[in-house]
Chains A and B, each alone.
Chain A
Amino acid sequence: MPTLNEYLLMGGLLFVIGLCGVMIRSNIIVILMSLEMMLSAANLTLVAFWRFGGGEGLPADSYNAQVMVFFVITVAAAEVAVGLAIIVALFRSRQTVDVEELRSMKG
């Protein structure tokens, strides 16, 4: 049977893959996907802690953790919707989804 640390490791790896995606890719849609991966990694960690929360490999009595995950998924869905709408607006005005070409924030 797997241990808690193994789940946490998988969650951490998924998170860092998402982080690398944000840093490496310049396509803003892929960046948004990477963000989703990071959020999901956090969810995995939460659920893993719940599953081992009772000690001795038993789950916690309270379902707070899963409620939290539920909320995170909801917020993430809203975020994706708004984010994609922004991307659409951006594409309309700049004709690009490449963040390397979007440098109006340069100081």
Chain B
Amino acid sequence: MSLLFYIFSGLMLGFGIMVIVCRNPLSSALCLVISFLGLAALFVTLNAYFISIIQILVYTGAVMVLFLFIIMLLDIREEKSKDWNFLAVGGGVVVLFGFVVQLISVLGGYEDGKQKMVPFPEDSSHEDVKMIGAEIFTNYNFHLQVLGVLLLVATIGVVVLSRRQGKEGSENN
């Protein structure tokens, strides 16, 4: 179990780093797919099967395909001609360092965090799809509806944003 955890964590972090290192956006996108697959596997080790599947379907399926389409559509080349912006890299490293130091110091003092995982109790009150469904459609029903409206608004917004503007023909509409 521990071994699997480290393998998938390494996968996730490694390809996460690859995302920002690769010069080609297409490579970045593919690295992100693998990174998210590792994340989904981590969800499985946490016994959150439903979230894991959602992660794969929504992110690695839908969202990443969207990214790839956009990269294809805009026909973006590698940033060949450009060198690294060392100022930005330096800033990034400073933030990375500061953040990791803070993270370790916080987690080092977190006693509850030292508990080891025990096997998951596989009983009827821990069937996650059923429980999440019950939760969403009872306690969080209103929030769900609001979320639906949000998605509708996003859809309309995307349509409006993607309309070609400034052409003579469209002004008549």
Q: Do chains A and B touch in the complex (CB under 8 A)?
A: yes
Q: B167 → chain A, closest Cβ, in Å?
A: 11
Contact B107 A8 (CB under 8 A): yes
Cβ B121 vs Cβ A24 within 8 A = no
Check A1 against B48 for contact (C-beta < 8 Å). no
Asked if A29 and B67 make an inter-chain contact with CB atoms under 8 angstroms apart, the answer reads yes
Is the contact region of chain A dominated by helix, strand, or loop, or is it mixed?
helix
Number of chain B interface residues as a range? 35 or more
Residues in A with CB closer than 8 Å to B48 are 47, 50-51, 66, 69
User: Is chain B's binding surface mostly helix, strand, loop or mixed?
Assistant: helix
Asked if A30 and B28 make an inter-chain contact with CB atoms under 8 angstroms apart, the answer reads: yes
How many A-B contacts are there with CB distance less than 8 Å? 234
Which residues of A in the span 1-35 have a Cβ within 8 Å of any Cβ on B?
1-10, 12-21, 23-27, 29-30, 32-34
Select B116's contact among A57, A59, A70, A84, beta carbons within 8 Å.
A57
Which range contains the number of A residues in contact with the other chain? 35 or more
Chain B nearest CB: distance from A71 CB in Å? 6
Which residues of chain B from 1 to 39 have any CB-CB distance to chain A below 8 Å in the complex? 1-2, 5, 9, 12-13, 16-17, 19-20, 25, 28-29, 32, 35-36, 39
Bound CA span A69–B114, Å: 24
Chain B residues 117 to 169 lying within 8 A of chain A, measured CB to CB, are: 117-118, 120-121, 125-126, 128, 131-132, 135-136, 140, 143, 147, 150-151, 154-155, 157-158, 161-162, 164
Interchain residue pairs with CB less than 8 A apart (24): A4-B115, A5-B107, A5-B113, A5-B114, A6-B5, A10-B13, A16-B96, A17-B16, A23-B88, A24-B84, A26-B85, A33-B19, A33-B28, A36-B63, A37-B16, A40-B59, A43-B51, A51-B47, A56-B115, A66-B50, A66-B131, A66-B132, A78-B150, A85-B158
